[in-house]
Amino acid sequence: MRLLDSYTGRNVLFNTLVVIVVIVGLDAIFTLVDELDQLKGEYGMLEALQFMGLRLPRRAYEYMPMACLIGCLSALGTMAANSELTVMRSAGLSVWRVMLAVLKPVAVLMVLSTLTAEYAIPQLEKIAQSQKAVAQGKGESLSNDGRGYWHREGDQFMRFTAIEPNGVLHGIRLFSFDSDRTLTRVLSAERAIYQRNQWQMQQVDDIQVTPELLLQSHYDALDWDTGLTPDRLSVVMIEPRDMSISDLYQYAVYIGNQGLNADNYLLSFWRKVLQPLSTFALVLLGVSFIFGPLRQVTAGSRIFTGILVGLVYKYMEEMLAPASIVLGFAPVLASIIPIVVSAALGFYLLRKAG
């Protein structure tokens, strides 16, 4: 039985890795083509290639559930076409035993994928985004072209053109409002450096706004008192989907304490936490297809079905995410509902087959 488990696992693992290489390779080409339209300042072809390379682990993580589904369908479909699954069933292997053999390599991939998402992807994304922003915005720190990062702390809104992971900000603008939502102060600085647990802004223009007049001052350096630290601020520069699980939870708590809506961060948090379960549910559905509706069809049909099922699952998640915000139900349900639906259908089809 161990030999059959090992053989099945190797087939699933090999086919899944081939699928992820092909999908990520195609995505890398499209990403590079898109980056060619954004070449600006010191952001040239070499920088675009580096940006694309730094984001490859992120794309592999995002495509891993679909790759596992297609890899499972391809591997087991080939074994079914060669009558290997029939021989296994004749040797006494149940459908559920085959399912266990398939889940073992998938579990290994999920562990590696989760570790990459927690420790590697956030750091690589910060480096990629900061290098691109600094290169594109060289000499334009205070431009107002729509780029940049926004953050709110109490009654103060902050905008940064670029954020470096080592604790340096570029193109800072701070907008302060009173309790009546009236603008009272605007601070603009070329950059800010975090030293000795304190931010210091450099080349600062300070505009005090009163009903009667505007008072403008200039400072070569000015201390900035804020609850943001480089570690906490670094999450501002990346999308919630690129943050680690721990950072998502901590930042959701932080902005919740600021009186802001943290649902987007909670949605990403639960997606990452539950991604292994969602992948297992998709694989379960894929295995049920092999022993059921897809037993006699061609390999191309199986792959097409895998892509179709993966897209339906993804669109279900994408629709439930905003629905949870609009309708007010818990963000965790947006991730749990597709898992339950896929797992229930997979169990139903496997029970019919075996």
Give yes or no for a contact between 155 and 178, defined as CB atoms under 8 angstroms apart.
yes
* Backbone phi and psi for residue 204, each to the nearest 5 degrees, phi listed first: -105, 130
Picking from 222, 210, 205, 13, the residue whose alpha carbon sits closest to that of residue 103 is: 13
Give yes or no for a contact between 262 and 325, defined as CB atoms under 8 angstroms apart.
no
Mean pLDDT of 80-107: 86
What 3-state DSSP class applies to 328? coil
Average pLDDT, the chain: 85
Mean pLDDT of 72-94: 84
- Stretch (H or E) spanning 165: none
What 3-state DSSP class applies to 167? coil
Picking from 270, 273, 231, 247, the residue whose alpha carbon sits closest to that of residue 119 is: 247
The span from the CA of 285 to the CA of 343, in Å, is 7
Q: Position 17: which residue type?
A: L
Tokens 């994304």: give the residue.
125
The span from the CA of 149 to the CA of 205, in Å, is 20
Domain boundaries, the chain: 2-135+262-353, 155-226
Picking from 190, 40, 58, the residue whose alpha carbon sits closest to that of residue 117 is: 58
Helix 2-36 × helix 95-115 angle, to 10°: 40
Can you say whether residue 167 is alpha, beta or left, with left for phi > 0 and alpha for psi between -120 and 50 degrees? left
Q: Who wins on pLDDT, 319 or 175?
A: 175
Tens of pLDDT, residue by residue over 199-224, are 999 999 999 998 878 899 999 999 99
Helix 299-327 × helix 263-291 angle, to 10°: 150
State the DSSP string of 85-122: HHHHHHTT--HHHHHHHHHHHHHHHHHHHHHIIIIIHH
CB neighbour burial string for 82-111, b if at least 16 within 10 angstroms, e if fewer:
eebbeebeeeebebebbbebbbebbeebbe
Picking from 132, 120, 103, 149, the residue whose alpha carbon sits closest to that of residue 58 is: 120
Q: Who wins on pLDDT, 51 or 129?
A: 51
Mean pLDDT of 218-232: 86
| Joined tokens for residue 326 | 């609009």
Kindly report which listed range (22-26, 117-121, 226-230) carries the lowest average pLDDT score. Answer: 226-230
Mean pLDDT of 45-74: 92
Tokens 């496997």: give the residue.
350
Picking from 59, 86, 83, 67, the residue whose alpha carbon sits closest to that of residue 20 is: 67
Tokens 């995002």: give the residue.
62
The CATH number of the domain covering residues in 155-226: 2.60.450.10
Give yes or no for a contact between 248 and 268, defined as CB atoms under 8 angstroms apart.
yes
pLDDT at 143: 39
Q: Who wins on pLDDT, 101 or 258?
A: 101
The per-type count for the chain, helices as H runs and strands as E runs, is: 11, 6
Asked if residue 27 has pLDDT above 90, the reply is: yes
pLDDT at 290: 81
